[in-house]
Each structure stands twice: as C-alpha cells, then as structure tokens.
Amino acid sequence: ALQKHNLMSSLPLNSSDIHLIVVDCQHDFCHPEGALYVPQGECAVENIASLLKSGKVARVTFTLDWHPLDHCSFQPQGGQWPVHCVQYSRGVALAESLMDPNLLPSLHPTFVTKGANRDQEEYGAFAQPSTEELALLQSGKVVVCGIAGDYCVLETLRNVLKVRPDAQVFMEGIASIDGGIALNEFMTKHQIERFQ
C-alpha cells in the first residue's frame, strides 16, 4: 500500500528522468546482523546510494517489507522465513547509507509497504496497483533494484512490467539469495534491459 502522506507522488517526470524503485533495502536484509541477511546486501546498497547521489535520479520509490509479529511466512507460524521486518522494529529501517536528509528530500521519495496482511505472503509491491500507484509507475524512466533479487525484486519487477514493459534493472544494486540465477533467467527470457 502506498503511504498516502506523500504529497509529491503526482510530481510529473519526463520519460528520460530516472525513477528508481528500491526494493526492501531494509536492516533485516542488508545488515550482516539482520534477521534475513542476504549476502552482498551492503554492496548493493552502496551502489544504490552512489546512483542516488550521481544526479541521474529524479525520483525514488522505496518498497518496505512490513509484517505483523505473527505473519504466516515466519517459522513460528509454520512459514519458510525467520521472523523479519516486523512493523515498527529496527529490522524495517531503511539501510543506513540510504538515509540521507541532505539528499532524499530532493528525490521526492515515496514509501510503499507490503506484507502487512498476516495471512498472505506478498513478495512483490504493486500486485494490485491503486490509481495512485499506477500514476507513480507512469512517472519517469522506471529502473528497479534492491533485495532479494530472487524474491521481492523479481516479483516487484513482474508487477511493474505489466504497467511499464520498458522498465529496466540496475544489476549492481541487487543482491540475491541464489546468487542471481532466477533473476538472470527471467531477464534473459523476457529480454529485460539492464540500466547502464
């Protein structure tokens, strides 16, 4: 769900302005001490931070894994994953190097949460995009990156491609649990362009 406090979400961008979608770059996935640390997560985050600072990006959307304490995907509930990204815990925080009060305000950040429904696994953002989310996805040249490449990035990319078949992927800004196999296969199969 799109966090509606963001009043800049209708800021129009030209199709040449980059709109970077950063998937789940949160403490639990990016920090070696996080609950569901994905190897190389810090490298992906550093590369994303550099791109955001490069001046090439006009707008950023952050997706956040955002689970209630008893989410069905958690092992104590019989799910596959350790308890992670619990709402209002440290684990949901954006990775340290992306939190830059001198930079983010000029990129009109929007936050999109997912996984809040206790009874449903939801890897991808924009599964059933609202009118506002559709407008957001129409904005700029859409480039996707984040963590994990084989789960939430892949699923978010599938959803984004339904609205924006021209979306690209920033490979250096991705870390995958499987080392990149699933995402690479998907990109080859669907001839998705890499952002250079």
Among ligand VGL, Zn ion, none, residue 151 binds (CB under 5-8 Å by kind): ligand VGL
Q: Indicate which of Zn ion, ligand VGL, none lies near residue 24 (CB less than 5 to 8 Å, by partner kind).
A: ligand VGL
Report the nearest approach of ligand VGL to the CB of residue 4 (Å): 23
Compute the least distance from the CB of residue 186 to ligand VGL, in Å: 14
Residue ranges binding Zn ion (CB under 5 A) = 65
- Closest separation in Å from C-beta 69 to ligand VGL: 15
Q: Exposure string (b/e) for 26-51, b if CB count within 10 Å is 16 or more? A: bbbbbbeebbbbbebbbebbbbbbeb
CA atoms within 13 A on the CB side of 1: 8
In the complex with Zn ion, which residue's Cβ is closer, 65 or 150? 65
- Least distance to Zn ion, CB of residue 102, Å: 30
Q: What is the distance between the alpha carbons of residues 126 and 118, in angstroms, rounded to a whole number?
A: 18
Minimum distance between the CB of residue 130 and Zn ion, rounded to whole angstroms? 21
* 195 contact choice in ligand VGL, Zn ion, none (CB below 5 to 8 Å, kind-dependent): none
Cβ-based nearer residue to Zn ion, 59 or 71 = 71
Enumerate binding residues for ligand VGL (CB under 6 A): 24, 29, 65, 73, 81, 147-148, 151-152
Is the Cβ of residue 34 or residue 109 nearer to ligand VGL in the bound state? Answer: 34
- Residue 148 binding target from Zn ion, ligand VGL, none, CB below 5 to 8 Å by type: ligand VGL
Question: Which one of Zn ion, ligand VGL, none is in contact with 18 (Cβ closer than 5 to 8 A by kind)?
Answer: none
**Of the candidates 62, 107, 67, 60, the residue with the CA atom closest to the CA atom of residue 83:** 67
- 19 CB-near residues (< 8 Å, 6+ apart): 13, 57, 58, 59, 60, 61, 139, 140, 141, 142, 143
Beta bridge mates, 63 = 23, 112
Nearer to ligand VGL, 81 or 195 (CB): 81
> Within a 10 A sphere around the Cβ of 150, how many other Cβ atoms?
23
